[in-house]
Every structure is written in C-alpha cells, then in structure tokens.
Amino acid sequence: MRVLLTAVTLLSLAGLAQAEEKELGITFDTTYVSKYIWHGFNFYGHDNSAVQPSLDVDLWGTGFGMVLWNSLATRSGSRDLEEFDYILYYGNSTFEDTAYATDYTVSWLYYDFIDAPTRDSDLQELAAQFSWPNLLPAGIVPSYYVGKLWPARSGSAALKHIGGWVHVLGFGYDWTIPGVIAGGSEQVVNLMADLTYNDGYGAASADHDWSHATFGASTGFQIAENLDFTPGLYYQVSMDDSVNDDDEVWTTLGLTYKF
C-alpha cells in the first residue's frame, strides 16, 4: 500500500500544474454481469453473477488517472473471491493525423482479495494497451493488450506458479444504425472481437497456448444528463481446457455517471 500511496501522490502533483485549465474528471460506473469472466476464466463458477462498481478519477486531463474497482458476488458461495482492484494509469496518443496514429494506456493494477490473506491471494499486474484508429479501412480498429501478472508478496508459495504473461489481439468497430427509440438519434453499436494467448497467466495449470476468443456487442443510451445505460452481450469460444473447458455466454448491464 505504500507504493500505491506514493504513486497517487506523484500523479496528483503531476496534475496540479494544469488544474487551473482543466477540471478533475470523475466517472462512477456500476455494472451487473451475469458471469464474471476474467481473461477467459469463469471466476465465480457456473452461472454466478456479480455487481461491479468502479470510480475513475481523471487528473485534470493530464493523461494520468486512477481507478478503484470492486467485484461483489451475488451468491454466498463466491464471496471469498470478492475483490478490490486499485489501478493507476497513463494514457496518451502519438503519430496523430497519420495512418499510424496510436492510442496507448500503461497501467499498474493491484488485485486485493479482501477476505483472504495478502500473501496467499493478492496479485499485481503491469499492462499496456495499444490501438490504431487510422490503420485499417472502414472504421475497423485493431488493438493489442499485454499484461504481466505476479504475486503481490515475494516468496508467496501459494501464488508462485500463477504469474505470467497474457497477450490479447483485438478488433473493434462502431456500427451506426437507425435510432431504436422513437424520435431518437442514430444508435452506435460497439462491436468487438479478440483472441488471447495465455503465457502462464492466472493459474498454475494454465497452458502456454491460445486460450480463447471473445465476441461482443454493446450500446449506450443516455437516460439523463451525464447518465448513460449500457447493455452488452458477449460470447467466448474456449479453446484450452486449462483456462476454461466451456464456451461462455454472458450479459452486462451498466450505469455510468460523469461528474
């Protein structure tokens, strides 16, 4: 936690120089998921849903920010796996106005499983996300996510075999359709597909192989000023039994409020 507090302090100081020009951005989200699927793993088991609230603080438009994320199981059998995640990130763009324009975000994540000892459960991850909005025609946006996972405490016997890398190759497309609400404007449906290579990430038994592919669609509805409702539907093709031996279908229902 000392690392977290130090990093938060440094990020806050980095934004003070721009505080007079831009406002602090705060986004609160709470999402219901019919299954908690994490990098291919069905985290709470078969048909166990969760409520996942989060608070995202954008530090005055500097690109620096921090997120507090929580997952709450809706059934008692999974409540020992409930977690708080603490995330620090920096995002920016480079090569703007060219075909190679790149949006990127670098993040540090701390997974805090609140009902289990830190040495036996908590994890850290360093991750980077890249996307190229101008690279392909027709509005198709390729992306790449890479993450390195390791135990929060060195020498953890319980977690020493679950660290590793994950690589996610993705594509996104914003599909514009006629408004679904009478008198409303056009509706944008966010389509996504990705393919994941698990390189020893998340489980001692995980093979070093292509683990799964995910396909999804979501769309947003503005229901009040600064308040959006976003339903989503996702399907996972599981290719490696060491991560998940079932294909998965799940839904999400999110409410997002921006201050």
Rg from Cα positions in the chain: 19
The pLDDT score that the predictor gives to residue 79 is 66
Kindly indicate the confidence band of residue 234, based on its pLDDT and cuts at 50, 70 and 90. very high
The pLDDT score that the predictor gives to residue 156 is 77
Query: Cα separation of 197 and 100, whole Å?
Result: 24
pLDDT tens string 143-199: 999 999 999 988 777 787 888 999 999 999 999 998 777 666 889 999 999 999 999
The pLDDT score that the predictor gives to residue 117 is 80
Give the chain's domains with CATH numbers. Answer: 2-15+27-258 (2.40.160.40)
Residue 4 has pLDDT above 50, yes or no: no
Kindly indicate the confidence band of residue 5, based on its pLDDT and cuts at 50, 70 and 90. very low
pLDDT tens string 179-190: 777 666 889 999
Residue appearing with tokens 């405490």: 153
Mean pLDDT (the chain) is 90
- 6-20, 28-42, 140-154: lowest mean pLDDT where? 6-20
Q: Which amino acid is at 239?
A: M
Residue 11 has pLDDT above 70, yes or no: no
Query: Cα separation of 122 and 244, whole Å?
Result: 22
206 CB contacts (<8 Å, ≥6 apart)? 162, 164, 198, 200, 240, 242, 243
